[in-house]
A and B are shown apart, each in its own frame.
Chain A
Amino acid sequence: MKQQSAPGGFRRLRGLIRKEFYQIVRDPSAIAIAFLMPVGLLILFGYGVSLDAKHVPIAIVVETPDAATADLTRSFERTEYFEPVRMADMSAAVDALTYHRVDAIVHLRGNFARRLHEEKGAPIGVVINGVDANTARLISGYMEGVWLNWLGDRARSEGTQLLTPVDLRQRIWFNAEVRSRNFLVPGLIAVIMTLIGALLTAMVMAREWERGTMEALLVTPATMGEIILGKLIPYFILGMGGMALSVAMALWVFDVPLRGSLWMLTGTSALFLLAALGMGLLISIVAKNQFIAGQIAIVVTFLPAFLLSGFLFDIGSMPVVVQYITHIVAARYFVAILQSVFLAGDIGSVILPNAAALVLLAAVFLGLSRKKARKRLE
């Protein structure tokens, strides 16, 4: 290292970067990864991933149709959450539920109208397919909504008021209309950029080893630090381009609000990208051959970023051990930052610790890369 001379080092670095850029331009696959992939994936997932269940198909079985049941059925038909189908009897409805034609059954027994006036009230039987617990819970929430509305309407038509001792007033901050896209799109950006960062760099060092170009580089006066930086900088620029494209799509295609500042977004994205690229580089350096680098990249990037980043599943609700594991997933910090910057604003107390974690991760990955990549062949 003592040989380092700044101008020489700078010229070498510039040469390496220029080389990498030529290679990127010549092989369109890197450009495709950086620009086409985020666009394609964001469109696909932005539209494809949604937790807002609407028009849920349900079966309604009314044993004895009359005015009271018609009233209730209409309530189900009026809401956009349900797509009710009337069925003649329970066995047909159960059949429909078994074959996934409907997700729930509303069952009004023959004595429904009569029992409305009894002390304990009339039961509305509801069966939900509980396999998808999340959707099932949403459906049951919608059911309650329909039920409460119906009760209120009924009370009003009778000239009384529905007696609810405690009236729940809920306010959802940052995302008042509860558009799941508003939080999914920023999360998806984090997942997609993890993939892109790793894909861009996971193969590049391994490729140099395989093609024999590394041996030629190693005997030049270029230091390992320069070789690594020479890889990092071009892909960083490319990754930032992909990032900018993703953000633009989030804002103008998916109408996600940006309440924080653009510079905060840019700065934190840069940090995240460093960590993601660093991980790819490390994979590439450790594996030394493209086959294994590819296998490792598949295993350690996508699924952890998808499942452990807090993008879909709340990290706080995971068992403590698993929570510890999520700390090595860079996407976790970026998801938190992105959701805040997009939906809430530049909230220092959220961004600072997460940004610090990203800095630490980037430093660890890049430091390890530097350490593992020796200027020797063994």
Chain B
Amino acid sequence: MGREAPPENGNNGRADGAAAISFKRVRKTFPRGEGRIEALKGISIEIRKGRVTGLVGPDGAGKTTLMRLSVCLLEPDEGALTVMGMDAAEDPLAIQSAVRYMPQQFGLYEDLSVQENLDLYADLQGVLPADRKERYAELTRMTRLGEFTDRLAGRLSGGMKQKLGLACTLVRPPELLILDEPTVGVDPVSRRELWNIVSRLVEEEGMSVLLSTAYLDEAEKCDEVILLHEGEVLGQGPPGDFTREQKGRAYWVKPPAEKKRDIQWRLSRRDGVVDAVIQGDGVRVVMGHDDGPDKEDLLPEENDLDFEPVDARFEDSYVALLQSRQEANAKDMAAEATPGKDDGAGRKTGESPGDSPGDSPIDVENVRRRFGDFYAVKDVSFSVGHGEVFGLLGANGAGKTTTFRMLCGLLPASGGKLRVAGLDLRRAAAKARARIGYMSQKFSLYGNLSVVENLNFFSSAYNLKGKRRQDRIEWALEGFDLKDRADAASGLLPLGYKQRLALACALMHEPEILFLDEPTSGVDPMARREFWDVINALSGSGVTVLVTTHFMEEAEYCDRLAIMAAGEILALGAPAEIKARAGKSEDEPAASMEEAFIALIESSSAARD
């Protein structure tokens, strides 16, 4: 008879620091085509009790495999693995009753209400009816789902779904909690709440937590971080240990707003620079050496710019560690993806939009969309200029995707005017659609077709023929580094590669206007950098880009952006303008886009209440 109830929090055995999870030379392979690929190459790790341990690494590093092994959903090929002192090979059910696991896409029953989902998991986890009331009260207080208990889970926003998933996972407090990318696709407000919950669990209930994340600022909040890469452990330790190595290598440059992206592009291409990303109003540069930046060498034409030293952060060491591993094709990708652009310079900034709306590539006027008696989008207006990168930001369910679908002609608007390249795509001739490229939120290529077969199909669907078609397919394989995986089934690619392929398919026909719906959701930081390099380069060559994102730091890459909530635009303008508006006073703009976003959302929901 095993444990029906895990020992509750009273026992302080965790304080001794014994391992919550221990892997000893664990190897795991999966069949792929003829052979097998190694997902974990004999790794040994110990994850300590009473801590938050973060698991980071690029796609396909083996993070999910490691987690699934820990909850006995998979069996290792070799090696020994114990969880909470129990042997995974011998006692899987005992482990499963002591450990809670929240998969990447948590299995909420969307046709059940919040309460019914909680009841189900309470039954499954063996929570006695007498204990439930108290537990539910605690969970709903923690997740602030109290007022939604009767709502169907399918009707919740993405952030609320994740919180409900977490609540279901926690109906009986476990000793060890394993979360697979709990914050993917979740807006900043909900992300913050999720993190508060996790830290409370560790501090107050003494739970051990293992979570994987693609957000490196989250990794920084962990007690300990494990960096995985291609099935091997690259490093393990407190995030501070990682950053220490990068100390004194990070700098911040603040160019004029309109040159921000250009400077970032050029810096990222210089020798000795490990990383250059847009951060706030400036560019953050990480050098590969301790000698400090040589202005003459890095930015010969912009002598007036200062390199201001800043504190190192976990992301710096992550990029540094991985870049030494992966031969950096990232930089080449953007260059190759946009032929005719040898250097990142010369990006045309969009003519100021709004002056002559008829000419704008994208023009939205008072657009509404109703589903039943619910308005998903109400009276939204904006326009996007040529070559502009326009961002749509918003919490889940804010109406971004609906707006996108209307623009692409997939959904009729209930009212208002939509113009894309001067046409209403819902009514325009099929040919007009050749002028746009569309990449949808979730991976939507043919999963059982190979990479090449998908490219073949989409190139023909976009009217490419003969030599040009061959050239473009070749371009996609080369430019997006898909050559080695050309014959792999696209559904089995790691997420980052799927996104590359999806982008390649959307760009086959060199569209004038590109729609990207959360293109970087769940993608690891390295892949995200590559992605934005490509977008930058495209916009430099005159392509108009409309993009939605959850990553607030990515919002800084946009020329202008609109923040949406509950179907309305709360703020519209350049990133700096928005931060200024969201600030506490005229002189004190919001410190970051994330803060601006949270402030705007909270003030709007306060206004609604």
Residues of A within 8 A of B (CB): 1-3, 5, 8, 11-12, 14-16, 18-19, 22-23, 26-27, 208, 211-223, 375-378
Contacts and interface: CB of A to CB of B under 8 A. Distances in A.
Contact of B100 (A8, A27, A211, A219): A219
B93 A3 contact: yes
B511 interface: no
B1 interface: yes
A22 B112 contact: yes
A110 to B, nearest CB: 72
B125 A220 contact: yes
B161 to A, nearest CB: 12
A23 B121 CA distance: 15
Contact of A11 (B93, B101, B123): B123
Task: Report, as a range, how many residues of chain B touch the other chain.
Answer: 35 or more
Contacts of A19: 109, 112, 116, 120
Given A215-B73, A216-B106, A220-B96, A26 B111 contact: yes
Interface in B106-158: 106-113, 116, 119-126, 152
Contacts of A5: 1, 4
24 contacts: A1-B93, A2-B2, A2-B93, A11-B123, A18-B116, A19-B109, A22-B112, A22-B116, A26-B111, A208-B107, A211-B107, A212-B105, A213-B109, A219-B71, A219-B72, A219-B96, A220-B96, A220-B121, A375-B73, A376-B72, A376-B73, A376-B74, A377-B74, A378-B75
A208 B120 CA distance: 15
B101 A219 contact: yes
A22 B107 CA distance: 16
A220 B109 contact: no
B353 interface: no
Interface in B224-248: none
A14 to B, nearest CB: 6
Contact of A376 (B75, B109, B168): B75
Nearest to B100: A219
Nearest to B93: A3
A262 B254 CA distance: 86
A215 B68 CA distance: 10
Contact of A23 (B103, B106, B112, B126): B112
Contacts of A14: 123
Contacts of B97: 3, 221
A8 B119 CA distance: 14
Contacts of A11: 123, 126
B92 A8 contact: no
Nearest to B128: A11
Given A23-B112, A211-B107, A15 B123 contact: yes
A3 B98 CA distance: 12
Nearest to B124: A220
Interface string B283-325: 0000000000000000000000000000000000000000000
The A contact surface, by secondary structure, is helix
Q: Residue among A14, A22, A375, A376 with the most chain B CB within 10 A? A: A22
Given A12-B126, A19-B109, A221-B126, 15 more contacts: A3-B97, A5-B4, A12-B123, A15-B122, A18-B116, A22-B109, A212-B106, A212-B107, A214-B107, A215-B107, A216-B106, A216-B168, A219-B96, A219-B99, A220-B124
Contacts of B570: none
Contacts of A23: 109, 111-112
Contacts of A1: 93
Contacts of B121: 15, 220
B94 interface: yes
B73 A219 contact: yes
Contacts of B100: 219
Nearest to A17: B123
Contacts of B120: 15-16, 18-19
A11 B324 CA distance: 53
A378 B30 CA distance: 9
A5 B125 CA distance: 12
A265 B350 CA distance: 78
A361 to B, nearest CB: 30
A3 B124 contact: no
A364 to B, nearest CB: 26
A143 to B, nearest CB: 60
A3 B94 contact: yes
A22 B124 CA distance: 16
A213 B123 contact: no
Closest 6 CB pairs between A and B? A15-B123, A213-B107, A216-B107, A3-B93, A212-B105, A220-B124
Contact of A213 (B74, B96, B99, B108): B108
Nearest to A26: B111
B238 to A, nearest CB: 28
B125 A377 contact: no
Nearest to A217: B107
A9 to B, nearest CB: 9
Q: Most B CB atoms within 10 A — which of A1, A211, A218?
A: A218
Contacts of A2: 1-2, 93
Contacts of B4: 5, 8
Contact of A3 (B2, B68, B119, B168): B2
Given A15-B123, A19-B109, A221 B73 contact: no
Contacts of B1: 2-3, 5
Contacts of A3: 1-2, 93-94, 97
Contact of A378 (B2, B74, B92, B104): B74
B534 to A, nearest CB: 30
A222 B92 contact: no
Nearest to B113: A22
Nearest to A226: B124
Contacts of B110: 211
